[in-house]
Amino acid sequence: MARLGNTDLDVFRLCLGGNVFGWTIDEERSFAVLDAYVQGGGNFIDTADIYGGRGPDGPGASERVIGRWIAARAHREQLVIATKVGMSREERGLSAATIKRALEGSLERLGIDRIDLYYAHQDDPDTPLEETLGAFHRLIDEGRIRYAAASNYSAERLTEALEIGKREGMASYVALQPHYNLLEREEYEGELRPVCERYGLACVPYFGLARGFLTGKYRPGGEEVSSPRAAGVRESYFNDRGFAVLAALDEVAAAHDTTVAAVALAWLIAQPTVLAPIASATSREQLSELLPATRLELTAAELARLSEVSAGC
């Protein structure tokens, strides 16, 4: 476990992504993955009010699945539950009224009375930051959320929000959820990481496995992967750099007798400010390939090798 920024939340070093629940896997399979995650020592679950929107039960399906699982398993006090507001068609943006309504919906779907980590899912330039932070602050005071966090913010807007929170005594973001992995480094390492370092924010990166590419299941000339993300993965990562990173991951994984996915996640965990990368799994078997990342210690040479090849060096 590790402490999340300047909070009292202790979390597992791998955050379980709930985006697949109610979308690409049904409730029974979702329960199996959640059970295996907790049995493996996990306690940090990430979802959003829009997750499940492309599945048969529509937006909020992920939260409902997680809520029914919590009710059935009685794990609530052991868990750190994160969800998000701001991208739903029904509750879009970060006005005070939207945040309040969206939170009530998330609490009802999850069947709990408090969210541990409540993210602004994306920046809302049409709403003053003071209004957004004030709304989060009131919810903290009311005991309905423990902490507020940010996702998909620019470094400039994140800094502005943090300064306003500090100056005005409003909610202060404690974590950032950016797009960051071995193949997506420039934005976070260039501008966002310095902000996290300066303000003590925990980085909880999404797409830690590059939408599945860094699991090694996508290979040139390999079997066709059946996934809603497959076309985008091929378009983004089927290139010399992507295949060079896979080759380096293969070498390191073989040296440690572990999985390619575990090595990719272990590299992330070893990066400055990163607390717990987010990764999702559609089965117990997939999850078993991810969990070793929390115990895997890569050598300085291995970390340097992966950093160099992923930078195109």
pLDDT tens sequence across 191-246: 999 999 999 999 999 999 999 999 998 887 766 666 777 777 888 899 999 999 99
Ramachandran bin of 296, using left for φ above 0, alpha for ψ from -120 to 50, beta for the remaining angles: beta
* Catalytically annotated residue among 37, 51, 119, 180: 51
Other Cβ atoms within 10 Å of 177 Cβ, number: 25
- The whole-chain average pLDDT of the chain stands at 95
Tally DSSP H helices, then E strands, for the chain.
Answer: 12, 10
Contacts of 10 (CB under 8 A, 6+ apart): 1, 2, 3, 4, 43, 80
Asked if the model's pLDDT at residue 313 lies above 70, the reply is no
- Per the annotation, the verdict on 51 as an active-site residue is yes
Q: Give the pTM.
A: 0.96
pLDDT in tens, 126-135: 999 999 999 9
List, in sequence order, every residue forming a beta bridge with 3; answer none if it has no partner: 10
Domain boundaries, the chain: 2-214+259-297
Residue 290 exposure: Cα atoms within 13 Å on the Cβ side? 30
pLDDT in tens, 118-168: 999 999 999 999 999 999 999 999 999 999 999 999 999 999 999 999 999
Question: Which CATH number among 3.20.20.100, 3.40.50.300, 3.30.70.260, 3.30.1330.10 corresponds to the domain 2-214+259-297?
Answer: 3.20.20.100
Nearest-Å Rg of the Cα atoms of the chain is: 19
